Chains A and B, each alone.
Chain A
Amino acid sequence: MIERLEALDGLGAEIAARAARAGVLAVWRTQLRSVRRVVVRAGRTEESTSAVFSGHGVQVRTAEGRMALASRDGLDPLPALRLLDRAADATRSGESLGVASSADADLPVVVARSVPSGLEAFEETEAPAVAARLAEIEREVAAAAPGVRLRLTWVSDLDAWRVLRSDGTDVLYAMPRAVLRAAATTDGDGSRHSIGASVAGPDPRLAWNERLAGLFLRRAVAAARLARELPDALVHPAGCPPLVIDYTLAKGLAHEAFGHAAEADGFRSSVLARDGRYRTGERVGADRVSIVDEPIPGDHAWQPYGPNGLVRERAAIVDRGALADALADPWSAAASGVAARGSERAESYRSAPLPRMSNIRIEVADPLPAPGSFEDYGAAELRDLLSAAGVFRRHAAVSWLSGYTGGQVNTATGDFVFHCKAIRRITRDGDVLHRPAIFSGSMFGALAAIREAFGPLALDAIGTCGKWGQNVPSSGGSHFFLVLDPDPSFRLGGS
């Protein structure tokens, strides 16, 4: 697969020559992507699909600052070269549509390559073997937590890009991803609840990896038990209780609330910007709290370069309580008053790259210890942590939101929502399970409310981000648990 991209070596010079003749800057993106998926239910393989995508997209910028993007599937150089002419032609029709000039961008020339080893596993891992392994795991989950319907899914996704710019940039990179997911649904004639669990890694053989398969099993069993318990759970009263959120929900808070609002393409309306410029230096949280976006090798959302050919860099969106770095691409950076950090991503060669997150986390200085692994913590173990830290001296009860199931933000208002799998109301004496309810409110209030953090950073909460209809992998996390003191700016739904 990578060889196919390497074989396009001669294309760079041809692009540069054509772009020069047309008087445009060209950013050429070639993508090859192979996605396979196996679904097992009740021991049967219900789905085994594969999809291969490849194509070229060329984005041009004229001397007047007008832009267009032309794309075509396939890897043939000749029709692909014609795309450049089509894109250049298309920019001319922009004038009648009121297309505004785009600012010039500072584009460092980068020639680099980042291809992780072990990609042959994507070819070698056969669907029937995956299906058999999923069926084994399914049997183990069902034995440990009977009374639910299970669906186990394996997805492998090898996503390789080559980005050539007419200024000499030539970057080739591959992003290997694999995911195991379990969905457990309550069985029987009563009300039904579905709970999911997942693990991710860069190797499609993760179902045979002792550590990851073991982790998946623990998470899937926990999901199955929760799906069984939820029909009998209480509805949580609406209000503003003291909260504990786990690292998956903290990822949701960082991603939905601060991450999207820090994306520089939306600064005319974002609450983190004023008059189109990032509010760098303004305080939005306690001194101990930072929010960092950073590509991490081997991570589900890892990306070494952006699709404009820049190196993807670390961005401290909030640095010890103050706004610091925005997520900016070369086209939005100058106008936003921030540095371009290669923070753009694109779902495919057909898509215009947008400032997007990779792995985003909330970091708290001097977290309290939480020994062992995250999966070791149930309500009783968490209660011990909270008790030792004196949380129950402040609050008679806390509501523990566990398991992120998704969220959304309005970057114009700073309103965020996210949802959890379950809520447990914990007191010194015990805990009571409640059904999930929406956690919503003001992002500033939520960040300012963080009091304690427990445990090391756990950054493997994965998801898919769908900004502007482009789906890209996301990930992140925080310390095992964060305690949020009550604040009227956010609340837990309920009835």
Chain B
Amino acid sequence: MTSDEALDRLVAAARSARPGGVRVREWSVHVAESRRASIGTQDAHTGGPHSPLGIAEALSARWHLVWEDGRVVSSDLDRTAIEEGLGEAIERARAAAREDPDAAQVAPPARMPDVSLLDSAAARMAAGDLAPLAGRLRAIRDRLASHGFRTWSGSFHATHTTARIVTSSGLDASSESTLAGWHATFDGELGNGHVARAQDGDAEFEVRLDRLADLAARLRLPAPPGGARSRLAVLHPAVVRSLVFGTLLHNLDGAAVAHGESRFPAKAFGSRMPVFPEGLSLRVEPLEPLKAGSYRFTLEGVPAAPTTFVDRGRLVTPVLGLKYARRLGGRPTGIPVASDALRLSGPPAIALEEALESAPGGTLVLAVLGVHTQDRASGDFSLSAPQALAIAGGSARGRLRVTMSGNVFEVLADDALRLVRFPGEDVPGLRIRCAVENR
């Protein structure tokens, strides 16, 4: 069964459904078919039993049905359910239907943006040709030996996906995309990598790997006496992604806003009252070629579009799909599916060297433990950073173990805030002021 055949079956089932005499008034069907290849390394053992060379095929489908009495239901269906006939799935969909007027809609026809999402080399890898990875695996093993690391773990993967959405209102759109990425961690301490619609180039890969190895090596150096002596900390982009973007996106989520689970009430969006410092902006740019965060349309069939969530300190819109756009009286927005599509701007931007010069006695925070345990609604954070470097004399070297605490929103409002350009990173680092305690 091809994905188009699967889609035809689902559409036919939706059109002909009549459980208990009730018809489907509107429907939306999304089908995706993918191939994926991957190989992992665990404790320096590449392709071992816990991270074997893997090849996978998958077909997935989701339908959203609006019954003629206005009740709605959404279900994920697998190949088996589709192949064996959808009668039972229809009966279940009817039994599970709920009253939810804001969800009783499907996407209308729309012109989907042209955005480059497909890379032929990544597609070949996804089909199982992993030979191009041999040189990269060798390069990692070389760094392991040359820096004297004990072990490394990591993975390489590539996925090739075709997707199509059809709705009862006449929308019929498709997309073909790839995703390729890698990640490596030395000595179980510090990791980094890259993910996009295409692999990073060989030269870019080598440089990124060298930066990672250099930072991991610096962690082995002793810290200066006294440890951290300043409340200034420079957050690596990896920390910004998880802590700062994670907090902001939780509070910008349309469902969280609508249900009072966000720091921001619905009335704050569109208001002239700034909730962040003047100048701070956050937007998503999902149309840039070959970025992981780029896409053509959402699972609901909403076209990708650049969207500004925060404009010069003022809240513009939450992140909205169809349901919460209707609930909150807005329009569906672009979705931040990966951090390389997010743009944080406004605070003065400085180079990493300048950031280190400006924070003597401070801490370069490379990784934190416990971000997922924080209370996103309050913005309060209290984190452990066992992978941190002491800043002295304009450079970062010597391991610190610190705990950091504060509040993300207060950090973003502080006049010490700077965007910090880290070479090779899509996301900026941040220089912030917060409580830093030596452990």
Interface residues of B in 385-404 (CB under 8 A from A): 386-387, 401, 403-404
On chain A, the residues within 8 Å of B405 by CB distance are 238, 437-438, 493-495
**CA distance in complex: A42, B100 (Å):** 13
Known: A268-B151, A437-B382. A70 touches B54 (CB 8 A): yes
Instruction: Kindly list chain B residues whose C-beta atoms are within 8 Å of the C-beta of A416.
Output: 369
Q: Is B150 an interface residue (CB 8 A)?
A: yes
B95 at the interface (CB under 8 A from A): yes
Number of A-B contacts (CB under 8 A): 282
Q: Are A128 and B98 in contact (CB under 8 A)?
A: yes
Contact flag A265-B50 (CB < 8 Å), given A128-B96, A350-B56, A410-B386: yes
What DSSP secondary structure best describes chain A's contact surface? mixed
* Cβ-neighbour of A97 out of B60, B74, B133 (below 8 A): B133
Contacts of B44 in A (CB 8 A): 268
B115 contacts which chain A residues (CB < 8 A)? none
Task: Say if the beta carbon of A474 comes within 8 Å of chain B.
Answer: no
* B188 beta carbon closer than 8 Å to chain A: yes
Q: A189 and B380 in contact (CB under 8 A), knowing A52-B78, A91-B53, A407-B373? A: no
Contact among B42, B73, B383, B403 with A266 in the assembled complex (CB-CB below 8 Å): B42
* Given A48-B73, A50-B92, residue A69 in contact with residue B188 (CB < 8 A): no
Contact of B378 with A59 in the complex, beta carbons under 8 Å: no
Closest CB-CB distance, A480 to chain B, in whole Å? 22
Q: Of B43, B99, B128, which one neighbours A268 at CB under 8 angstroms?
A: B43
Within 8 A of B (CB), among A82-125: 86-87, 90-91, 93-94, 96-100, 102
B95 and A127 form a contact (CB under 8 A) = yes
Given contacts A193-B377, A352-B54, A412-B189, contact A419 B151 (CB under 8 A): no
CA distance A94 to B39 in the complex (A): 9
Q: Is A265 a contact of B43 with CB atoms below 8 Å? A: yes
Instruction: Flag whether A183 is at the interface (Cβ < 8 A).
Output: yes
Tell me, rounded to whole Å, the shortest Cβ–Cβ distance linking A103 to chain B.
Answer: 9
Chain B residues within 8 Å of A412, by CB: 187-189
Q: With a CB–CB cut-off of 8 A, which chain B residues contact A51?
A: 75-76
Task: Name the A residues within 8 Å of B59 (CB-CB).
Answer: 73-74
Q: What 0/1 pattern do residues 40 to 68 of B give for CB contact below 8 A with A?
A: 10111111111111111111100000000
Query: Chain B interface: which size bin?
Result: 35 or more
Given A50-B96, A189-B265, answer yes or no on A440-B50 (Cβ-Cβ < 8 Å): no
For A183, give its contact among B40, B137, B261, B262 (CB under 8 Å): B261
A352 to B54, CA, bound (A): 9
Does A352 lie within 8 Å of B383, measured CB to CB? no
Q: Judge whether B53 and A413 touch: CB under 8 Å.
A: no
A437 surroundings in chain B (CB, below 8 A) = 382, 405
Q: Is the CB of B52 within 8 A of A491?
A: no
Closest to A252 in B: B373
Are the CB atoms of B75 and A97 closer together than 8 Å? no
Query: What is the CB-to-nearest-CB distance from B292 to chain A, in angstroms, rounded to a whole number?
Result: 15
What 7 pairs across the A-B complex have the smallest Cβ distances? A412-B188, A99-B47, A419-B373, A406-B373, A268-B43, A51-B76, A269-B188
A interface residues (Cβ-Cβ under 8 A, vs B): 36, 41-42, 44-46, 48-55, 59, 61, 66-76, 86-87, 90-91, 93-94, 96-100, 102, 126-128, 131, 149, 151, 183, 185-187, 189, 191-194, 230, 238, 265-270, 276, 329, 331-332, 350, 352-355, 405-413, 415-419, 435-438, 440-441, 468, 491, 493-495
22 pairs of residues in contact across A and B, judged by CB atoms under 8 Å: A50-B76, A51-B75, A53-B76, A68-B52, A73-B79, A90-B55, A90-B128, A93-B131, A97-B46, A97-B53, A98-B46, A98-B134, A100-B46, A128-B97, A149-B259, A265-B42, A269-B150, A406-B372, A407-B370, A435-B380, A436-B380, A493-B405
